[in-house]
A and B are shown apart, each in its own frame.
Chain A
Amino acid sequence: MKFFRVIRWIAWKDLASEIRSRENISSMFFFAFIVIMIFSFSFSMDLQAAKDLMPGIIWVAFGFTGIIGLGKSFWVELQNDCLENLQISPAPKGAIYLGKLISNLIFILIVELVLFPMFVIFFNLDVLDKVHLVLLIFLLGTLGFAAVGTLFSAMTVQVRAREVMLPILLLPMVVPVMIGAVEATRGALNGDPWVLYRHWLELLIVFDIVFTVVSFWAFEWILES
């Protein structure tokens, strides 16, 4: 069906371009790495405080990474008039949104999956038996972030002061994702029983569903002439 083909092609195009040029992912990765380093210096004296704040640090780093990646997502379309081409394309706009969402999700997740072992090493986290939980939380949190971020990226790439508008608009909106992801990560890393932090995962799931649907609907208003 044409709808799914469009999604696949958009996602494939972004992934293939990124694999070949690696310019976005490398900047995302290095930026997050620097954030982790700075945090570790700040907390190196008090390891107990570091352990308590760990989930927050992780998600702050992921948040900044996400913003860089999301910003670039539509920035690349500005070359060669590709953005206008998408605007006047007969392809369903919702499919373009989902394709972009998938590629953004994959990029941010890749960076997270590379960074997380570094966290484990630097802060001596005990995670081997909880890896699957942590990965699930990463997925749900990143999905919420990317669902809204993909839409806002398409919006802000068409306005002035685009680099600063994306974080200004995005960060207040994703506060529930940050809270939910941090608390769930904390619960998982502490080894708390599932029931204690289950409702945070439910919050993330609700946010993800609501905002993927709303952004999917809203996208055609944004990517229109």
Chain B
Amino acid sequence: MIKQMRRYESWFGAGAGICIIIGLYMGLVTSPPDYYQGEVVRIMYVHVPFANVSLLGYTVLFAGSLWYLWKGNPIVDNMSHAAAGVSAFFTAGALATGSIWAKPTWNVWWTWDARLVSFTILLLILIGYLMLRTFIEDKDKEARFAAILAIMGFVDLPIVYFSVEWWRTLHQPLSVSPRGLSISGEMLIPLIMMAVGFYLLFLYMAMVRTQMLYLEQLREAKKGRLLSQAYL
């Protein structure tokens, strides 16, 4: 699997680059500004892909965790670890761009919207996952525990979303929300371009990171063999 990754990763990287450049051009230059929000709406072209891909990444992490528990393939574990790291990056991006979008539009940096809170919880779970991984020394335990954590978090996330949604309808009437944005055809195409570009970017980054993790483990093993030969 690693060999295939090495062969195809540059395709993904190039594809990502192309889509994003075209998407950004279309989004920033040729597409019309929104009737209500003006130029600010252009942040949507980054924010929505960030959010979509972060959820996709988490699904990849979930699937990878299940696969690792089932088969025990360490490369699958590397993939999951990589997916978690890259997803964290995209989740943080989604939150940051969401905040930047909210301020000029609705004059708030933050709102207790169900999606925002869910994304924040998602980011916390991912950070917890990455922290857990650094604090365990035994490689096998690390992989297993991380997989369990990822699965539990994935099951939890919909419940978090619904509970915050109910809570919000109870306490805060629906005044501000990043949803409810009508999208014209001209805005849809650059959006799709950017989304596809971000997907490809995610896959590219995840593949590179997976290989990095794999090589790190390989290096540890070789170091071990060298040192043990010297010692024994």
| Physical contact A–B (CB less than 8 Å) | yes
Query: CB within 8 Å of B: which of A101-160?
Result: 148, 151, 155, 158-160
In the complex, how many residue pairs between chain A and chain B have their CB atoms under 8 Å apart?
A: 83
For residue A224, CB closer than 8 A to chain B, the reply is: yes
Question: Bound complex: CA of A203 vs CA of B163, how far in Å?
Answer: 8
Chain B interface helix/strand/loop/mixed: helix
The answer to whether A172 touches B125, judged by C-beta atoms less than 8 angstroms apart, is: yes
* Residue A13, interface by CB 8 Å: no
Q: Is the CB of A159 within 8 A of B159?
A: no
How many Å lie between the Cα of A172 and that of B120 in the bound state? 9
**B72: shortest Cβ distance to chain A, in Å?**
11
Instruction: Say yes or no: is A86 at the interface (Cβ < 8 Å to chain B).
Output: no
Decide: B148 and A207 in contact? CB cutoff 8 A. no
List 9 tightest A-B contacts by C-beta distance, closest first: A176-B163, A172-B124, A160-B135, A159-B135, A179-B163, A218-B148, A169-B128, A176-B159, A159-B136
Cα distance A15–B17 when bound, in Å? 61
CB contacts (< 8 Å) of B125 on chain A: these are: 172-173
A169-B149, A218-B151, A222-B145 known; A175+B160 contact, CB < 8 A:
yes
**Which chain B residues in 106-160 approach chain A with CB under 8 Å?**
117, 121, 124-125, 128, 131-132, 135-137, 141, 144-145, 147-149, 151-153, 155-156, 159-160
Contacts of B153 in A (CB 8 A): 172-173
What are 29 A-to-B residue pairs whose CB atoms are below 8 Å? A148-B152, A158-B136, A159-B132, A159-B136, A160-B135, A160-B136, A160-B137, A161-B135, A165-B131, A165-B132, A169-B128, A169-B132, A169-B149, A172-B121, A172-B125, A172-B153, A176-B163, A179-B164, A199-B166, A200-B166, A206-B159, A210-B155, A210-B159, A211-B155, A215-B152, A221-B69, A221-B145, A221-B147, A224-B144
Residues of B at under 8 Å CB distance from A?
69, 117, 121, 124-125, 128, 131-132, 135-137, 141, 144-145, 147-149, 151-153, 155-156, 159-160, 162-164, 166-167, 170
A214: CB under 8 A from chain B?
Answer: yes
Assess the B160–A176 pair: CB atoms within 8 A: yes
Extra contacts, 8 of them, besides A176-B163, A203-B166, A221-B145 (Cβ < 8 A), are: A148-B152, A158-B141, A160-B135, A165-B131, A165-B132, A175-B117, A210-B159, A221-B144
